[in-house]
Chain A
Amino acid sequence: MTEAPATIMLNGKSRKIKQPCSATELLSELGWKPTQVVIEHNGQVIPRSETGAIMLREGDQVEIILPVAGG
């Protein structure tokens, strides 16, 4: 039996994700590679090596951030 989707806050907007869903799976769905971005999960910066181990749950706050041009 598949689990009901969960709703997370992703970059400030509500988004439904399948369950279970790892941070790596979410990135892949969004077209980003783990090496391009950094994830903040419920206020904690996730080391890239641990992205795959992060499972996203109902109500999680997720930010996907990347370096951009700036002064």
Chain B
Amino acid sequence: MLEIRNLTKIYEDGTLAVDNVSFTVPDGEFLIVIGLSGSGKSTLLRCINRLIDPTEGEILWNGVDLAKLEGDDLRKARRKIGMIFQHFNLVSRSSVMINILAGRLGYARTWPTLLHQFSKKDREKAWDILRRMDIEDQAMKLARELSGGQQQRVGISRALMQDPEMILADEPVASLDPVLAHSILNYLEKLNKEDKLTIICSLHYLDLVQRYATRVVGLRAGKLVYEGTREDIRKMTDEEFKSIYGEEAERITDGIEGALERSELQ
């Protein structure tokens, strides 16, 4: 279980990105974080695996405060948290295989890995995951030669190599077309249901939120302004909507998509 308590992040330039946020994510949850661009979603996700150091607050994961970890302990904790990114963050000049094996770096011994040597077990694991992600035939290509959807599947594969218990997904489908977006989120849902992984995912499109989320939190200007289930989203009132997306946002139809289009424009 992940419990976030009074998390605050103030950047060096004084920007208050996350403002006293607290919430709890039970294991096996598919939590979706919504909010406008700049509302602090990315910062919040990166604070969880400490890519960004929080200014204050606790991040209790299975009883350990991630916010206090340093050095080896931090790296060991990170191994169990996979992360996928909006822009995939693959090493574009390395092969798909190397990109996926990189997910194993936290487990492998340092010196062999510096020469790109991985154990046979790790390599077999990588092939298994490649098969599962349907990109087996791309393994020896350079990452940059792949299409966007394929690249994101490599990104997921890399996260899976970590044997994660939780996956952080920072707007994983924002760079993809709607069809690919569904296919990627389907993968994540499968991981959530079949592998019982906890998933924390930030998203923009409320239709996707309705379809995949088991729980939703909304951020606005770094503050937690909404918490609810998938059903709550469907029944979301105008007020709740405006509390997340601002006074100027308007719901054009009853459907949430229209409202989103509008709010996205701003």
Whether chain B is bound by chain A comes out as no
What residues make up the interface of A, taking CB atoms closer than 8 Å to B?
none
What residues make up the interface of B, taking CB atoms closer than 8 Å to A?
none
